[in-house]
Amino acid sequence: MSGFLIFLGLIVVLAVFGIGIYNRLINSRNRVKNAFAQIDVQLTRRYDLIPNLVESVKGYMKHERETLEAVINARNAAASGLSAAKADPANADAIKQLAAAEATLGGALGRLFALAEAYPDLKANENMLRFQEELASTENKVAFARQAFNDAVLTYNNTRENFPNNIVAGMFRFEPASFLDIESEEKRTVPEVSFT
């Protein structure tokens, strides 16, 4: 009888231990979803600003239709990527697609602002200045939200991969989450410096 009680006690201890691990994994995954919700708010704000920016630029940049269309197309692709990622922020593929779409949008906006430099009236336009300032402010908020998201992903992935958590994570199919890296490759390229 005492052997049975010991066995039963061991089963109860293992079950409680397993439940604790499972709950930690759920909490970590929910932190990832919450952190992504903050990114969603900021990116949605950014996407809402872009059509207004394009409208304020259209009158000045009549000959730059391709650039304006590229910005709108990139914005629509990024918004679509955001919708897919919002459905499951722990889905690594959806996060990677969002990051790629955001990089494309960042490049298109960069080209738009570079072209705007060639139009002195546009550079001084009050609407253009306001939208540039709002976009810059939103970019800072996106960067902050992205850092919080990536911290939550790191915590979740560490919790998921540590032993014995990895056994419970494997049993209940907790998939790894992916970091959101929106930065463009140009920022990672080391500039060549020559003093000749």
The pLDDT tens digits of the residues spanning 70-85 come to 999 999 999 999 999 9
Alpha-carbon span 56 to 42, nearest angstrom: 21
pLDDT at 195: 39
User: What are the tens digits of pLDDT across the range 29-41?
Assistant: 999 999 999 999 9
- Global pTM value: 0.79
pLDDT at 189: 47
Alpha-carbon span 144 to 149, nearest angstrom: 9
SS3 192: coil
Distance of CA 46 to the CA centre of its chain: 13
pLDDT tier at 183, thresholds 50, 70, 90: low
Alpha-carbon span 51 to 68, nearest angstrom: 10
Burial of 32 (0-12, 13-18, 19+ CB in 10 A): buried
Peptide bond into 164 cis (omega under 30): yes
pLDDT at 121: 75
Q: Give the pLDDT mean for 127-142.
A: 87
Q: Give the pLDDT mean for 132-136.
A: 87
What does the buried/exposed string (b/e) look like for 117-148 if buried means 16 or more CB atoms within 10 Å of the residue's CB?
eeeeebeebeebeebbebbeebeebbeebbeb
CATH number of 36-174: 1.20.1440.20
